[in-house]
Amino acid sequence: MALTETAPRLRPVRTGQPPARRRDDSRLCRTRTQRILLAVAFVAIVAFPLSVESAFLISLTGTIGIFALAALGLNILSGYAGQISLAQSIFVGIGAFAGVALGGLAELPLLVWLPGTFVAGGLAAALVAPLTLRLKGVFQIVLSLALIFVGHYAFINLPALTGGNGGISATPSLSLGFIDFGELTVAGMRYSYEQGLFILIWLVLAASMIAVVNMHRTRFGRALVAVREAETAAEIAGINAARVKVQAFVLAGAFAGLAGGLLMAQLRYVQAEQFGINMGLELLIIVVVGGLGTTWGPVVGAAVISSIPVLATQYAEHIPFLQADFSQSGEIGIPVGQVGLLIYGLALVLVMVFEPRGLSHIFGAGGRSLLRLARRARTTSEPVLVPQPHAHLGGKA
């Protein structure tokens, strides 16, 4: 063949079957049924707090939404980028105290102080990300623990902003134009501060989940996964792994700051002790138990990890072997204060041994199995038309 000639074009061989499509667990909705359920969920966000009178239940579900939002940011760092951090609680605290300064002390409107908590968490993460991500493995965990201690020291020694050891209280504005989530009025009925805040929390969480799903489909999202799977190969392919990890760390801190601002609005009181190693461990366990690198993992993990200890404390008198104090009664059982540790340990062991992909995969597989059974039952219940033989008309054949 001469050098000026072109090689013949190869035609793809058709095998008669479409290529197999890999299931993408990062997609928010993969089927029509899931899209319908998502629409129902948006309606439920508005309808649930307006139809439930229990202040405890509304507060609990609001807390689940806040922890799911903080875990959503950590899932970007640990689930998509493959980096380990226990310092997510510090950025939650930074967002909470930023909310106190902007929404409480400065009395800025919701459209200013809530995005300000997002920016504050991201800026704080950007300051420490280059130092944190230089290390790997156990050294990265140790450095994240050091960040918790440094952050706790800073919170205590800035009393003008944080209140020191005693904490600080604030009641920020929840007014968004013509809608005031703090004094929500629907059809002439006025609802409580907690009910309106619930709607705000879950709308912010839903918007954040949609943003993260769209991010995962971009070039940056694919770069995150490439760095997680094979960092050296990603760098050979032209991906700046260090920059990608720093961006993931900044996003994780920003979402944590946003969650901290909403936590401040819910409690209207924040203290440095709230943002220690216990919250950092809880957020990491939420991500692992819910499912690393999945969209619904933070929500499912927060619903289990954050709610069960609270429910056990609330209904301890109705649960066998649970009491507030065994020192006086002399009985054998589980103290209510240690239920959280027990749940964390059991959930981690069960998930890591039986389903490392997390509870979101278990629930997703169970839902798909139920849909298949429903379709099979519907097809078997439909009558089958049997063709009748034609009758011979007149005479012999």
Residues 6+ apart with CB under 8 A from 122: 250, 251, 253, 254, 257
Q: What percent of the chain has pLDDT over 90?
A: 38
As given in the structure block, the two tokens for residue 284 are 């990491």
Pairing state between β 322-323 and 334-335:
parallel
Is 389 inside a domain boundary?
A: no
pTM, to two decimals = 0.83
Q: Check whether 391 has a pLDDT greater than 60.
A: no
One-letter identity of residue 216 = H
pLDDT tier for residue 299 given thresholds of 50, 70 and 90: very high
Average pLDDT, the chain: 82
Give pLDDT, residue 132. Answer: 79
Give pLDDT, residue 377. Answer: 77
Helices (H), 231-388: 231-236, 241-267, 277-290, 297-305, 307-314, 339-354, 359-381
3-state secondary structure of 335: strand
Is 225 inside a domain boundary?
A: yes
3-state secondary structure of 332: coil
Is 140 inside a domain boundary?
A: yes
3-state secondary structure of 330: coil
Is 31 inside a domain boundary?
A: no
Q: Check whether 236 has a pLDDT greater than 60.
A: yes
Phi/psi at 174 (5° precision): -115, 25
Give pLDDT, residue 22. Answer: 47
SS3 for 102-171 is HHHHCCCCHHHHHHHHHHHHHHHHHHHHHHHCCCCCHHHHHHHHHHHHHHHHHHHCCHHHHCHHHCEECC
Question: Within its chain, how far is the Cα of 396 from the centroid?
Answer: 78
37-48 pLDDT per residue, tens: 778 888 888 888
As given in the structure block, the two tokens for residue 339 are 């239920």
Q: Check whether 165 has a pLDDT greater than 60.
A: yes
Give Dmax over CA atoms of the chain in angstroms.
110
Give pLDDT, residue 328. Answer: 52
The CA distances from residue 347 to 80, 87, 222, in Å, are 22, 21, 30
Is 229 inside a domain boundary?
A: yes
Is 231 inside a domain boundary?
A: yes
Q: In what helix (H) or strand (E) does residue 334 lie, and over which residues does it extend? A: strand 334-335
Q: Check whether 386 has a pLDDT greater than 60.
A: no
Q: Check whether 90 has a pLDDT greater than 90.
A: yes
239-294 pLDDT per residue, tens: 898 899 999 999 999 999 999 999 999 999 999 999 999 899 999 999 999 999 88
Question: 246: closest CA among 134, 138, 136, 146?
Answer: 134
**Cα separation of 264 and 170, whole Å?**
8
Is 330 inside a domain boundary?
A: no
pLDDT tier for residue 98 given thresholds of 50, 70 and 90: very high
Q: Check whether 222 has a pLDDT greater than 60.
A: yes
Q: Check whether 314 has a pLDDT greater than 90.
A: no
How many domains are contained in the chain?
A: 1
In terms of residue numbers, what domain contains 123?
A: 40-275
The larger pLDDT score, comparing residue 199 to residue 397, is at 199
Give pLDDT, residue 354. Answer: 84
Question: 335: closest CA among 345, 320, 325, 347?
Answer: 325
Give pLDDT, residue 152. Answer: 92
The larger pLDDT score, comparing residue 148 to residue 36, is at 148
- Cross-strand partners of 270: 168
**Cα separation of 232 and 228, whole Å?**
10
322-363 pLDDT per residue, tens: 766 555 555 666 777 777 778 888 888 888 888 888 888 787
Is 13 inside a domain boundary?
A: no
Give pLDDT, residue 283. Answer: 94
Give pLDDT, residue 389. Answer: 61
